[in-house]
Structure 1
Amino acid sequence: MLENLTRSAAVRARRHYVQAMFRFMGHGLEAISQADRKVIEDVRVLPKGFIFQMMVLPSGPSLVLEHTGEGKLRYLGPDYDGKVDLSIRFKHMAHAFLVLSFQEKTTEAFANDRMVVDGDISLGVRMTRVLNRMEAIILPRLVASRAVKEYPDDLGLLEKLPGAIGVYRRVAFSMIRDLRKEALPI
């Protein structure tokens, strides 16, 4: 009985962790697309109105972003139910947890058949590059090296620190804005 309760608590904790990370990543990707020139260049190539989703199958947590033009992304939240142009889907919550807790790189998870890409693979590679850039900027180098395939050589402390501070500041303000919206009675 205790073993079942412990297992159940661990499953719920993973789910909450993945939900929180998706929310943070959504706000983080929106923030970095307003500040980092390399991310803006990568996103600018996407068609305006392009919708990107990352989720856990079958109906787990998700994040959805829209390219609003000029290389800017807008976080649409976890509950978007419209048409999606590109979706990266983890096959199981445990797989998402491995990647989002930096135990496994995204490229390794894909190679280990832990995720499915639905849409244009070249756009999937581009979005993975954007995710990797964000992780390299906002995470300490030791953690980021575990998360991304290759840590950028050109990302020194003088570029990383202001970039990370800017992203964390924008994320904090946008998450507070979202919490205020959720708290307002309808």
Structure 2
Amino acid sequence: MLAKPLRPMALQARRLYVELMFQVMGRALQGISEVDQVARDEARELPEGFLFEMMVRPRGPSLVVEHTGEGRFHYHGDNPPRPVDLSIQFKHIAHAFLVVSFQEKTSVAFAHDRMLVDGDIGYALRMTRILNRLEAFILPKLVASRAVKEYPANLKLPQKVLSAARIYLKVATQFFDTARAS
């Protein structure tokens, strides 16, 4: 009997966690595009003004980033300024939770039909590679190895630590700027 009242609380906790992780991921995508040349080279292939959204269906948490050119991203929060070009949509908050809590790889979630891609598959693969690179930088290797399809073999500890610190500094700066503006 105690389990029934806890279910809505667990669902709400998952939702809050996914929402926070989307905010961190959106800001970190902007950060990695300023810090890492490999990610910038991947993003450079996207058209300027390209809008990417990751969301939970039907009206769950989301993140929106825009390619502003030269491989740089700008985080828009959860409000796209115009229709998005690519949307990766989780079918349920529990599915998103599995991925953003690094219990399941994005590729596995897609294989298990837990998410939809609305837009060009080539762009979706490119954004997935950028997200995988981001996770390899900002997560401990043990966790990142579980989260990404293939951990970069050429990513050495000094580069990882320096890049992660720079990305986290940019994420923190963006959070403080947002809080100051409110």
Q: Deviations over 1:51-109 (max 9, x none)?
A: 00000000100000000000000000013362000000000000000000111000000
One-letter code aligned to 2:104: E
Aligned mates of 1:82, 1:68 — CA distance in 2: 14
Matches within 5 A, 1:36-185: 36-80=36-80, 82-182=82-182
Aligned mates of 1:24, 1:119 — CA distance in 2: 23
Cα RMSD after superposing both structures: 0.9
What displacement does 1:158 show? 1.6
One-letter code aligned to 1:107: S
Aligned mates of 1:181, 1:116 — CA distance in 2: 34
What displacement does 1:4 show? 2.3
Aligned mates of 1:5, 1:69 — CA distance in 2: 49
Aligned mates of 2:79, 2:68 — CA distance in 1: 18
Aligned mates of 1:115, 1:180 — CA distance in 2: 35
SS in 1 for 2:54: strand
Q: Which residue of 1 aligns with 2:25?
A: 25
Aligned mates of 1:142, 1:149 — CA distance in 2: 13
Cα pair 2:137 2:163 within 8 Å, conserved? yes
Q: Deviations over 1:30-64 (max 9, x none)?
A: 00000100000000010000000000000100000
Structure 1 ranges of 4+ moved more than 2 A = 1-4, 79-82
Q: Which residue of 2 aligns with 1:11?
A: 11
Cα pair 2:51 2:80 within 8 Å, conserved? no
Query: How many corresponding residue pairs?
Result: 182
Aligned mates of 1:8, 1:110 — CA distance in 2: 26
One-letter code aligned to 1:13: A
Aligned mates of 1:136, 1:119 — CA distance in 2: 25
Aligned mates of 1:105, 1:73 — CA distance in 2: 23
Aligned mates of 1:51, 1:80 — CA distance in 2: 8
Aligned mates of 1:150, 1:51 — CA distance in 2: 26
Unaligned runs of 5+ in 2: none
SS in 2 for 1:73: strand
Unaligned runs of 5+ in 1: none
